[in-house]
Amino acid sequence: MTVESVFPRLEALLPHVQKPIQYVGGELNSTVKDWDACDVRWALMYPDAYEVGLPNQGVMILYEVLNEREGVLAERTYSVWPDLEALMREHKVPQFTVDAHRPVKAFDVFGLSFSTELGYTNMLTALDLAGIPLESKDRTDEDPIVLAGGHAAFNPEPIADFLDAAVVGDGEQAVLDMTEIIRAWKAEGRPGGRDEVLLRLARTGGFYVPKFYDVEYLADGRIGRVVPNAPGVPWRVSKHTVMDLDEWPYPKQPLVPLAETVHERMSVEIFRGCTRGCRFCQAGMITRPVRERSITGIGEMVERGLKATGFEEVGLLSLSSADHTEIGDIAKGLADRYTEDKIGLSLPSTRVDAFNIDLANELSRNGRRSGLTFAPEGGSERMRKVINKMVSEEDLIRTVATAYGNGWRQVKLYFMCGLPTETDEDVLQIGEMAKNVIQKGREVTGQNDIRCTVSIGGFVPKPHTPFQWAPQLSAEATDARLAKLRDSIRGDRKYGKNIGYRYHDGKPGIIEGLLSRGDRRVGAVIRAVYEDGGRFDGWREYFSYDRWIACAEKGLAGTGVDVDWYTTRERTYEEVLPWDHLDSGLDKDWLWEDWQDALEEVEVDDCRWTPCFDCGVCPQMDTHIQIGPTGKKMLPLTVVNK
């Protein structure tokens, strides 16, 4: 049955909304496939505004992987801003895809990618606009399978009531596996309805179906155990890991929007995973092991992508890009190749200790020399030992000295506040580090006009990290500490004027903490916030702490637990954590030891360069580290039309 486009009805609303171009689709390299010629159809959502969601690599990759398949179709949908939401409700226009403006409810799968927990209320808005019941238990065979992926899906429990399934880990192969299961079930005439296909997914051990697991609670509010309640459903669900990134050179044809978006560049993921072992970093823990894309594979992706998009900047993405074994040759190769085309290179995540000036010079050769950005994360040496970010202040000062000597004038430093065991003194050290950076800059350049910006975020303990047991610092204590730092920086006569100070207050972090380490009982809070009008919680102008707190009181009433219990409470070794049945490969005992090491300020090395220290991922997931060097070179290209 062909599904009708809602565009004619949407079009009449567009003259009344801000930035209507974000809703019309038609992006370069987008795909509209014949509905009737496909038997498995995916609606992919990044649950934030188009300008943030469109550049998302995860969605772009899956969109292309699925659309390349015969008989499979994928379209994209994003959160609509409240101005359009109100008009859609008034005129009964459902949540639509931007590709062919088909109603989301008509698809087989409604897949959402959660980079952050702050998109949960937007999921509920989209479900409701789509005409899909908010809770899994109320859905029928007429509704799509609502699926969550992305980093936040490593603890899907707070949204378990709203999901039919979740997938943890790399999505490329997983979406294809799921497609085949759905296709077979549909071809058989959908035996057993919705429950049957969910059961088939759950039994693979690679898809988490919350309804097939019962959570039992202890009298004190902690979880007793999580038990499968259907035959053949495994106790734990494994994450997916894609090996050999060169076999997955996506996106091949990146989407180029007409509307302005947050990242407009040709992004290539140069490796996946990170084993530096920073203890606060969920991404580094859940994406192990390190798998590098080869220098030649990167060269091909960049060339094809630039031709397909016309972007003027290449972003070399990963969790710590300067750690690629051949990063120097990659940067030089690309800078050589695109000198005449004025293509800029960017390396979004660079460690101080992996940085060198040759690399920096290659990066800035074809254009802008923006400021340098580093993330020491902790202000004091002691703090950096606790978090296992093994960067010394000496390293940093040496690096910035070279940078200033080579013409840079601006350094930006990222830190966190509220780390385990942190004291006021640790945070005040951030200011001292900034002063030392400026002092060194003045020395090297002989100029007074040197700037250093410090940017501080509140630390939120995350599941599947050694800090998953840690107490989160309260919003009040975070704010008080940040105020002390601000006063110490502003009050400094010699350097104060040259230090930029950016920070966020502690309140949003508490809500993020609630959603990160929450369990199924938090679902009622999310729903209450949504029903009270909560939207776009990642946007300061929409986020309301007071609303969240009020709704938490209501939603958690009678459970014996509250926001503090989820956030500022320290967990013990014995406690069953809400995400324990989702297997990231990390051995829980190893995580505990690493947590104890943190408290004793003991550091752990990177297993790329030292023997394995038994985090558990490789044997558990049957994976291994894949790194170079390959020894190959990136070949220059003969440029057409020259």
Partner 1 sequence: MQRIRLRYTKRGRLRFTSHRDFQRAFERALRRSAVPMAYSAGFTPHPKVSYANAAPTGVASEAEYLEIGLAAVRDPEQLRAQLDESLPNGLDVIDAVEVRTPNFVERLEASEWLVRLDGVEPDEAAGAVARFLAEERVEVERVTKNGVRVFDARGAVAALDVLPPQVDGGADTEAGTDRDVRTGRPCAILRLVVRHATPAVRPDDVLSGLRATADLAPPVPAEVTRLAQGPLDEGTGTVTDPLALDRAAAPAGSEPDAGPRATAPA
Residue among 255 and 387 whose Cβ is closer to partner 1: 255
Q: Which of 216, 341, 425, 589 binds partner 1 (CB under 8 A)?
A: 341
Instruction: Work out whether 408 is an interface residue with partner 1 (CB under 8 A).
Output: no
Scan residues 167-206 and list those touching partner 1 (CB under 8 A).
Answer: none
Q: Which is closer to partner 1, CB of 255 or CB of 582?
A: 255
16 binds partner 1 (CB under 8 A): yes
Binding mask 240-259 for partner 1 (x = CB under 8 A): ----------------x-xx
* Per-position b or e across 138-177, b if 16+ CB within 10 A of its CB: ebeeebbbbbbbbbbbbbbbbbbbbbbbbbbbbbbbbbee
Residue 16 or 624 having the CB closest to partner 1: 16
Using CB under 8 A as the binding rule, whether residue 25 contacts partner 1 is answered as: yes
309 binding partner 1? (CB under 8 A)? yes
Of the pair 216, 260, the CB lying nearest partner 1 is at 260
Q: Judged by CB under 8 A, which of 68, 196, 260, 570 binds partner 1?
A: 260
Stretch that binds partner 1, among 19-27, 51-59, 453-461, 539-547 (CB under 8 A): 19-27
24 binds partner 1 (CB under 8 A): yes
Stretch that binds partner 1, among 7-15, 84-92, 193-201, 290-298 (CB under 8 A): 7-15
Any contact of residue 307 with partner 1 (CB under 8 A)?
yes
443 binds partner 1 (CB under 8 A): no
CB of 410 to partner 1, least distance (A): 15
For the CA atoms of 36, 40, 46, 50, what is the dihedral angle to 10 degrees?
Answer: -10
Q: Which of 1, 2, 15, 541 binds partner 1 (CB under 8 A)?
A: 15
Contact 198, 209 (CB under 8 A): yes
Q: Within 10 Å of residue 77's Cβ, how many Cβ atoms?
A: 28
Distance CA(514)–CA(221), nearest Å, equals 15
CB 41 within 8 A of CB 271: no
- 368 makes contact with partner 1 (CB under 8 A): yes
DSSP H helices, 339-419, are: 357-364, 381-386, 393-405
Cβ partners under 8 Å of residue 192, min gap 6: 199
Pick the closer one to partner 1 by CB: 219 or 640: 640
Residues numbered 310-329 forming contacts with partner 1, rule: CB under 8 A:
310-312
Enclosing H/E stretch for 375: strand 372-377
Cα separations in angstroms, 95 against 4, 91, 312, 420, 563: 13, 12, 33, 42, 32
CB of 52 to partner 1, least distance (A): 17
* Residue 593 touches partner 1, criterion: CB under 8 A: no
Q: Whole-angstrom Cα distance, residue 247 to residue 293?
A: 9
Smallest distance, partner 1 to C-beta of residue 53, A: 17
- In whole angstroms, what is the distance from residue 398 CA to residue 282 CA? 29
Token match 């998302």: residue? 56
Q: Of 9, 20, 409, 568, which one interacts with partner 1 (CB under 8 A)?
A: 20
Task: Take residue 2 and report the two structure tokens written for it.
Answer: 């062909």
Residue type, 574: E
- 7 or 185: CB nearest partner 1: 7
Q: Name the phi and psi angles at 417, rounded to 5.
A: -125, 140
Q: Enumerate binding residues for partner 1 (CB under 8 A).
A: 7, 11-12, 14-16, 19-21, 23-28, 256, 258-260, 264, 306-312, 341-342, 367-368, 640-641
